[in-house]
Every structure is written in structure tokens, then in C-alpha cells.
Structure 1
Amino acid sequence: MEPIARLLPELIRLSNGQPEVLSAACCAAWALSVGEATLRASRAVALTDRTLTVAVQDARWKRQLEVLAPQILFRLNGLLRQPLVTRIHIIVDRKFMVAETRRPAALPAVTLPEELPEELVDGASVIHDAALRAQFLRLAAACLARDRLTENP
């Protein structure tokens, strides 16, 4: 299992239900719950009201993922160790997919705390969307910093 998968449940716990953290965690779990071909053809976009919206490149992928959605949902919630996602909403969005493939794979320039666990940064590489990956790492850093403050007031 990917190192990031082990950290997702703890990050969710530390987030105290912050929607941005939950969305980023669910999108990361999507990347870990599907195979490489599916990951190349789809992108988890956002979590809204326990529904994970996933963009795919065409109607064929939409039909295929609608059939596989219950299995993916089971794996995804298993990684999160709680039923955060109750439904997967699949949309065909060629513009989103084209924009994603044009984005550079490298992490955008963001300042991350030095104490951010290396396995978390390495594990986040499975999130292909560079902006989402950066957001996930920033939120993870904020959650970990807040947890340290509550442990050592």
C-alpha cells in the first residue's frame, strides 16, 4: 500500500471536518483506488455533500466507471477508513482532462514546512493534478502543525 494511504485517515482526523482537506483526501484516495489506465482517463475533481465528482475523457469511460463505481467506492472508503464518500458522480469533461494533461507534473512552487514527513511528500506523487497535490500537502502541513500545537500548548 502506498505510504500516503496510511496517512490519509490521520489527516482526515486532524482536519476536524474541513471540507478542503476532506476533498483533497478523497481525491488522493481516488488515485490510489483505481488502476493506471483509469487514472490516466479520469480525475477526481471534488467532494461535495459526500459525493465525489470524477471527470472522465469520454462517454465510454463514463459507462465503464459507472459499472465499477460500487467496487471503487468500497476501496476508496476502505483507504479512508470511514464512509466519507457515499456516491461517485461521473461527468464527461474533455476540457478538464485536456487541461490536466497540459499541467506540469512537477509540484508548483509552494513553501512546505521542513518537518513534513518525507513519506507524505513522496506518497503525494500519486496525485497527478499538481495543484491538487500542492493543496493536499499544504493542508496536511496545516493539520500536522495544529496537532503539534494542541499536544504542546
Structure 2
Amino acid sequence: MISDWLTPDKINVIDAIDSWENAVLLSAEPLLAQGYVTDDYINAIIKSHNELGPYYVLAPGLAMPHARPEQGAIKNGLSLLHIRKGVSFNSAENDPVYVVIMLCAHSGEEHINMISELANIFSDEEKLNRLLKAADLDAIQAVIN
């Protein structure tokens, strides 16, 4: 269940940030601090973005950066960064990004399970809009719970 992985200590709400790189770094901070990922995991995300572009910007306003399990995922987890003013990820169709959900999964199977759980929110337009417009932690938790 998403609320099991995405606990309040892994959710940050900020007004603005200056770059997609810093948004990725800030969204990763709770996972890094709590031992879910290594620095290599975050570096792999940034390297992939630089090589392949913002493939993980999934919908208008929504990014889900992640790397392969063997690139430094230690255990399964999610973090969420909500940027009230949005930030460009260089995604022509989906910028600005307001919600960055970082996913880390220890195995390919868990990766798929986590994405399918998240898809329940992403595929519900009303829930997704509530998430993108959430002003604080309580509003975010109301969507994910």
C-alpha cells in the first residue's frame, strides 16, 4: 500500500526550487538519510536524465525519478517532493513539474508492484489533480490514503 511506503517523514512541501537536478536531489534526501538508497542511485537517475532526457516525467506536473535496483536501491521506498510553483524538467509536454515521487525498489518485481499501486492515483484524474494542487502534508496524505 502506498501509505506504507510513503510515510510523512518522506514527504516535503516547498514553494520553489531552481532546477530539476536539485528537485531530484531534494526528493531523494529522505530515502538517502534513512538507508533506502545510496548516492549511486541518485547519480544514476541524473546520468540517465542527461543521456535519455526526462523519460520519467509521466504526466503534466508529475515526475517519478527512479533507477534500476542494482544501481543502489537497498530497500523498497517512496518519497514525495511537492513544489508549489513547479520546476522545469525539460519535458515539453509535461512541464512544469509540481510533484516528484522518487521510487526505489530492491527487485524488479517490487518495482512493478509499487508502480501499479501508484498507477491507481495517476490514472484517477481527480486524485491526480488533488495531488498536484495539494498545499500541505495533510492534503497530500488525504490523496494517498
TM-score by length of 1: 0.27
Structure with greater strand share of residues: 2
TM-score by length of 2: 0.28
Structure with greater helix share of residues: 1
